[in-house]
Structure 1
Amino acid sequence: MVRVTLDGALIQAGEGACLKDILPDHNPSLSLAIIRPGVVSEEATRHFRLLTTKGEFVVEIPESSVVLPDPDEPSFNPALHWADRYAAAFGPFPADFVPSREPSRYARGDLLIGCGGYDTRRSYLIISRKDHQADHGAAEGGGIIGRVIAGRGTIDRLDSGDRIEKIERMISWADSTHTITTTDLSLPLEEGMEIISHVRIAADGYSDDAINTNIAHSVDHLLFSLRSGIYHADRTTSTHCMDARLGHMDISLEQKGPRREGAVTTRTKGKRSGAIYIYREDVATSPSHSVVGQVTHGIELVRLIREGESFAVTCEPERFDLLGMHLDEAVAYAKERGISVTADSDFSPSERVVITQEPGTTLEVLKETQVTLTTMMQDDVIDIILFDEKAPRTVDIFRRFTGLKRYSVGMLPFFFSFDDVWLFEPEIPERINIIPENTPVDCAPENAIGMTNASRRGAGLVGVRISGNTEFGPTAEPFEGTNIIGSMIDVDKLAKLKEGDTIYIREVKR
């Protein structure tokens, strides 16, 4: 028999057994972490965390001989001595070097030791806030000992009265075992092997004892992003891995905090807004990240995963979203979760579709243990097909501003109709650039859904044309001004629309 550990449980398998024998249902496209027997030791890094009254930042100091001052030592004054828009200085403290008496050039984030009046008994730990040239009383070459690698927003906020409260060297775990990730389920088992098949994440604000809804929207984004049970490592670095497969999402900052090993965050600013990050090492708090959860199992898989690989992931709690369900299905599912339901109608529950739920987030529903649903007859919900392969960017914009990117049912405000064209006006900001994509060539097909692109004044307008046309697209624009993004299945339901109506749409797969 061969003894191995699978997700923390000791199991036995027959001689010659392989991964498939102990994981018969594992998706072969998802990576496993394999740790062979060895020795794990603690290793000091060249990264230091500086905790201040304004937050923390992390510096990298390449030379092992460099020693930072100790805030607990009487000889070091950890208060901010001076600060301007170019630099901030803590001290003084005694140091041993020869001032060069020459100006040097510094980049943003440089960490140096300088002195006042060329007296090294009054030396300072100086952080460069902005690219500049100055004489800081430093040693020849500028006295640069390191650089800030995380938490630059903290150094910008430092002001009179702030101080360094703690300086600590960061620790990592050096694993001398032979560790790999693999998707090869025919890999033979070895005595003492450890296998991690998935990562488990606990959402912040959720526990068996209490539920905190202060970050309910951020947590709902986490649960939505990982609803498929798969985490795609689109990018990996020494400190984190990132899943950005959903593309840009508008997310509010709800909870700042230190990003410790195993912390899960969602980015709230920049082109990666909405991406889910999992941390391999401790890094400083960021104003661009909301902390939304913590890895409770499988951190080894997070550490080992390589860029382009994917792994299985589960989140606690399970997302609660009834939109798009038939009412009878929604009521049954809610009952399983211990949630009572109030609906706007109990008429023909198997034919009514849920179009809104209140509260809208998982944590709020679980805390209140009740939900109110708005429904409509299935015959009034319009099914559509979207062309991800042909117009991925425009389809993503359409989903974002109709609600289909996050929910099973979306909304489109009806504008007006003429001849065989129906026009809709989603609220797409002017800053959104809709580039030409999948424009018609010889004919705009019947029942096609189109969006006017940025080459025309009416960019963002959505239209449906129920017959084919060799001159104009679904928004009545020339072919070069129209992106074909999908097809409407239930075009017969358009006839009863009035100006100002909102239609509810549901995406179906071909």
Structure 2
Amino acid sequence: MQVKINGEEIDLPDGSTIRDAIDKSGASYLEGCVLGLIKGKEEVERYINKYKLKTTKGSIIIELLSNGPENIINTWKNRYKDFGNLRIRWTTSTDLAIGPIKTDLKPSRDEYEYNRWDVILSLSGFTADATHIILSKDKHRAAYGAPKNNGNEGRGVFARVVGGKRTIMKLDDDDYIKQVKPVLERKSIVKSAAITDLDTEIFPGNEIFTYALIKTSEKSPQSAEHFFALSDDGKMQIDYESDSFIGFYELHGLESPPEFVDQRKRGTITLRNTGKGIGRVYIYREDRVSTPSHSLVGRVLRGMELMDIAREGDILTVETEPHRIMTLSLTQSEAQDLLSQQSIKQIREGVEDDEAIIVGQEPRFTMDIIGDKQVKTFGINKEDLIYIDIDEKAAPKSSWYFKKITGLLDSPVGFLKVHFAFPDARIMMFEGSSRDSKGLIPENNPQELVKAGEIGLTNMSKRHIGMLGVRFEDNSEFGPTGEQFKATNIIGKVVKGIESLEKFKEGETVYVTTKKF
């Protein structure tokens, strides 16, 4: 049997499952993510009610009438492609004709009144051999030989023009229809199934969608990098959905400056760059006008059907074009291999040894690196990178604050500036952020003991809210920032590099990572 997976036709034995289709095609898919299963093209087109007529002077959109004549609508759905590559047969001040094609419809001979922008199926000359589509440009009366509907004579109106009206007024008999195709809207897709069971049996004509391919815009390099960070592990969880869009809020609160603004057409991806929802990413299911508060991230190239089907809480498999260029946490040698594959020149700075760990790159953003075709990679000695483990479940607000001010929200390596270093007291404190520390409620307070290597911050119960610290020996009285336990939130702990960390001095920069070693 034949099925389609991400638009590619494959042959499978009867009784095959989605897993079989993925295995045979090698389709991109990550375990646990949602898939889209559509019974077939006919199943989708059954719910389509808009069509685009692409002409030599622009496009026209028509929408089928919900109560239109059934025999004419069925004829249109079965034969709409036949109107492609046909010339404009005639145009007058009141109407425009496209055709002819041959049908088996029966004409009527009565004259009827038509309104502006009616779409009529006409049997010109009262013969089915000259079936035309008529676009009404003004209110008028005419006898178009409109087909009979269930034995009764009718006007033949089966649709309305809803887009491209100016195009219609510009067309003449030297123009032609390049193509007619359905306009795929979300309501055409939602009748299909969103599933996660790979052992679901599939049948001939089924279409499977396993992932979405995203093309990022070079006009919004920082917004694109925000998206790369959001989808860095190849997965994205839907936090909100409506008929118009789906939202991804994992990086809500992470600022990004306004960049390129464009119309939010179906399949467009934007980043909220100001206001209450700053840092949220949206993928549009329906067209929306542009707004300065939304920067264009990119567009969905493939898998929009999956975006239509998925629901809040679902996890999507996502790929980007281009792939993110991120050298941080790699060695200088590993970065060289990665960059050479993409014809990007590496300029080593800082510690340049092959085994040095990269903690900074310039330009920072993938789209800029691709444009420049080179990147500076700043390295440090391997032993100077501090590995930490963050307890996000026990201290969600404190963990988010820590990751934001260090840069770990959107990068594999972050940094802290040493504020105080007290070798005798075996404690070190780091600069916080007064702006980002608002709302740091007490959470995960130490009970009887703060252990060496535990990282903590001062919560909102004290004046120095947001200050960060670490102790190099156990303490049963005060937290890592010198505050009482009730004013201390424990974020996590140093899991490697504690001896190196203790050597840093005031004003120096400490590089940290949550990457496993």
TM-score, normalization: structure 2? Answer: 0.69
Tell me, in whole angstroms, the C-alpha distance in 2 between the residues paired with 1:344 and 1:298. Answer: 41
Higher percent of residues as strand: 1
Tell me, in whole angstroms, the C-alpha distance in 2 between the residues paired with 1:347 and 1:286. Answer: 45
Give 1:485's match in structure 2, choosing from 481, 491, 494: 491
Report the 3-state secondary structure (helix = DSSP H, G, I; strand = E; otherwise coil) of the residue aligned with 1:344: strand
Map 1:2-13 to 2 at 5 A.
2-13=1-12
Question: What amino acid does structure 1 have at the position aligned with 2:266?
Answer: E
Tell me, in whole angstroms, the C-alpha distance in 1 between the residues paired with 2:304 and 2:205. Answer: 19
Aligned residue in 2 for 1:416: 420
Give 1:30's match in structure 2, choosing from 30, 33, 36: 33
Question: What amino acid does structure 2 have at the position aligned with 1:31?
Answer: V
* Contact 2:185 2:285 (C-alpha < 8 Å) held by counterparts: no
Report the 3-state secondary structure (helix = DSSP H, G, I; strand = E; otherwise coil) of the residue aligned with 1:175: helix
Tell me, in whole angstroms, the C-alpha distance in 2 between the residues paired with 1:27 and 1:315. Answer: 14
Report the 3-state secondary structure (helix = DSSP H, G, I; strand = E; otherwise coil) of the residue aligned with 1:496: coil
The reply to whether residue 306 of structure 1 matches residue 311 of structure 2 is: yes
**Using a 3 Å threshold, how does the CA distance of structure 1 residues 335 and 359 change in structure 2: closer, same or farther?**
same
Question: What amino acid does structure 2 have at the position aligned with 1:185?
Answer: L
The reply to whether residue 500 of structure 1 matches residue 499 of structure 2 is: no
Give 1:204's match in structure 2, choosing from 211, 217, 220: 217
Map 1:67-466 to 2 at 5 A.
172=185, 174-175=187-188, 178-205=191-218, 214-344=219-349, 348-350=353-355, 352-418=356-422, 419-429=425-435, 432-466=438-472
Aligned residue in 1 for 2:480: 474
Question: What amino acid does structure 2 have at the position aligned with 1:203?
Answer: T
Question: What amino acid does structure 1 have at the position aligned with 2:37?
Answer: I
**Using a 3 Å threshold, how does the CA distance of structure 1 residues 486 and 359 change in structure 2: closer, same or farther?**
same
**Using a 3 Å threshold, how does the CA distance of structure 1 residues 398 and 428 change in structure 2: closer, same or farther?**
farther
**Using a 3 Å threshold, how does the CA distance of structure 1 residues 423 and 345 change in structure 2: closer, same or farther?**
closer
* Contact 1:42 1:173 (C-alpha < 8 Å) held by counterparts: no
* Contact 1:322 1:357 (C-alpha < 8 Å) held by counterparts: yes
* Contact 2:238 2:246 (C-alpha < 8 Å) held by counterparts: yes
Instruction: Measure how far apart 1:173 and its partner are.
Output: 6.2
Question: What amino acid does structure 2 have at the position aligned with 1:378?
Answer: K
* Contact 2:246 2:285 (C-alpha < 8 Å) held by counterparts: yes
Tell me, in whole angstroms, the C-alpha distance in 2 between the residues paired with 1:28 and 1:308. Answer: 15
Tell me, in whole angstroms, the C-alpha distance in 2 between the residues paired with 1:370 and 1:185. Answer: 42
* Contact 1:402 1:426 (C-alpha < 8 Å) held by counterparts: no
Tell me, in whole angstroms, the C-alpha distance in 2 between the residues paired with 1:403 and 1:4. Answer: 45
Question: What amino acid does structure 1 have at the position aligned with 2:510?
Answer: I
Q: Deviations over 1:381-433 (max 9, x none)?
A: 22222111211111111111111112222111111223121111133426632
Tell me, in whole angstroms, the C-alpha distance in 2 between the residues paired with 1:499 and 1:302. Answer: 49
Instruction: Measure how far apart 1:339 and its partner are.
Output: 0.7
Instruction: Measure how far apart 1:345 and its partner are.
Output: 5.6
**Using a 3 Å threshold, how does the CA distance of structure 1 residues 406 and 187 change in structure 2: closer, same or farther?**
same
Instruction: Measure how far apart 1:374 and its partner are.
Output: 1.5
Aligned residue in 1 for 2:158: none
* Contact 1:358 1:372 (C-alpha < 8 Å) held by counterparts: yes
Size of the alignment, in residue pairs? 380
Instruction: Measure how far apart 1:348 and its partner are.
Output: 3.3
Question: What amino acid does structure 1 have at the position aligned with 2:511?
Answer: Y
Q: Deviations over 1:95-151 (max 9, x none)?
A: xxxxxxxxxxxxxxxxxxxxxxxxxxxxxxxxxxxxxxxxxxxxxxxxxxxxxxxxx
**Using a 3 Å threshold, how does the CA distance of structure 1 residues 20 and 425 change in structure 2: closer, same or farther?**
same
Aligned residue in 2 for 1:18: 17
Instruction: Measure how far apart 1:252 and its partner are.
Output: 1.4
TM-score, normalization: structure 1? Answer: 0.70
Tell me, in whole angstroms, the C-alpha distance in 2 between the residues paired with 1:452 and 1:295. Answer: 43
Question: What amino acid does structure 1 have at the position aligned with 2:11?
Answer: Q
Tell me, in whole angstroms, the C-alpha distance in 2 between the residues paired with 1:430 and 1:360. Answer: 22
Q: Deviations over 1:225-270 (max 9, x none)?
A: 1121112111110001111123421121212221111011111234
Q: Deviations over 1:148-171 (max 9, x none)?
A: xxxxxxxxxxxxxxxxx99xxx99
Tell me, in whole angstroms, the C-alpha distance in 2 between the residues paired with 1:448 and 1:326. Answer: 27
* Contact 2:413 2:511 (C-alpha < 8 Å) held by counterparts: yes
Instruction: Measure how far apart 1:219 and its partner are.
Output: 1.2
Tell me, in whole angstroms, the C-alpha distance in 2 between the residues paired with 1:173 and 1:401. Answer: 39
Q: Which runs of 5+ in 1 are unaligned?
A: 45-63, 65-164, 206-213
| Of 481-490 and 170-179, the range deviating more from structure 2 | 170-179
**Using a 3 Å threshold, how does the CA distance of structure 1 residues 194 and 415 change in structure 2: closer, same or farther?**
same
Tell me, in whole angstroms, the C-alpha distance in 2 between the residues paired with 1:509 and 1:439. Answer: 26
Tell me, in whole angstroms, the C-alpha distance in 1 between the residues paired with 2:430 and 2:401. Answer: 14
Report the 3-state secondary structure (helix = DSSP H, G, I; strand = E; otherwise coil) of the residue aligned with 2:33: coil
Tell me, in whole angstroms, the C-alpha distance in 2 between the residues paired with 1:458 and 1:407. Answer: 27
Question: What amino acid does structure 2 have at the position aligned with 1:187?
Answer: T
Report the 3-state secondary structure (helix = DSSP H, G, I; strand = E; otherwise coil) of the residue aligned with 1:23: helix
Tell me, in whole angstroms, the C-alpha distance in 2 between the residues paired with 1:269 and 1:18. Answer: 45
Q: Deviations over 1:24-51 (max 9, x none)?
A: 374341111111132515437xxxxxxx
Question: What amino acid does structure 2 have at the position aligned with 1:19?
Answer: I
**Using a 3 Å threshold, how does the CA distance of structure 1 residues 430 and 21 change in structure 2: closer, same or farther?**
closer
Higher percent of residues as helix: 2
* Contact 1:36 1:177 (C-alpha < 8 Å) held by counterparts: no
Question: What amino acid does structure 2 have at the position aligned with 1:181?
Answer: A
Aligned residue in 1 for 2:140: none
User: RMSD of the alignment, in Å?
Assistant: 2.5
Question: What amino acid does structure 1 have at the position aligned with 2:21?
Answer: I
Tell me, in whole angstroms, the C-alpha distance in 2 between the residues paired with 1:337 and 1:476. Answer: 49
Tell me, in whole angstroms, the C-alpha distance in 2 between the residues paired with 1:403 and 1:369. Answer: 25
Tell me, in whole angstroms, the C-alpha distance in 2 between the residues paired with 1:378 and 1:181. Answer: 46
Tell me, in whole angstroms, the C-alpha distance in 1 between the residues paired with 2:384 and 2:14. Answer: 60
Tell me, in whole angstroms, the C-alpha distance in 2 between the residues paired with 1:441 and 1:461. Answer: 20
Tell me, in whole angstroms, the C-alpha distance in 1 between the residues paired with 2:407 and 2:457. Answer: 16
Report the 3-state secondary structure (helix = DSSP H, G, I; strand = E; otherwise coil) of the residue aligned with 2:404: helix
Report the 3-state secondary structure (helix = DSSP H, G, I; strand = E; otherwise coil) of the residue aligned with 1:388: coil
**Using a 3 Å threshold, how does the CA distance of structure 1 residues 359 and 192 change in structure 2: closer, same or farther?**
same
Q: Which runs of 5+ in 2 are unaligned?
A: 51-66, 68-165, 168-182
Tell me, in whole angstroms, the C-alpha distance in 2 between the residues paired with 1:383 and 1:369. Answer: 31
Aligned residue in 2 for 1:50: none
Question: What amino acid does structure 1 have at the position aligned with 2:232?
Answer: R
Question: What amino acid does structure 1 have at the position aligned with 2:200?
Answer: L
Tell me, in whole angstroms, the C-alpha distance in 1 between the residues paired with 2:264 and 2:408. Answer: 31
Instruction: Measure how far apart 1:458 and its partner are.
Output: 0.6
Tell me, in whole angstroms, the C-alpha distance in 2 between the residues paired with 1:509 and 1:251. Answer: 28
* Contact 2:216 2:298 (C-alpha < 8 Å) held by counterparts: yes
Identity of aligned residues (%): 30
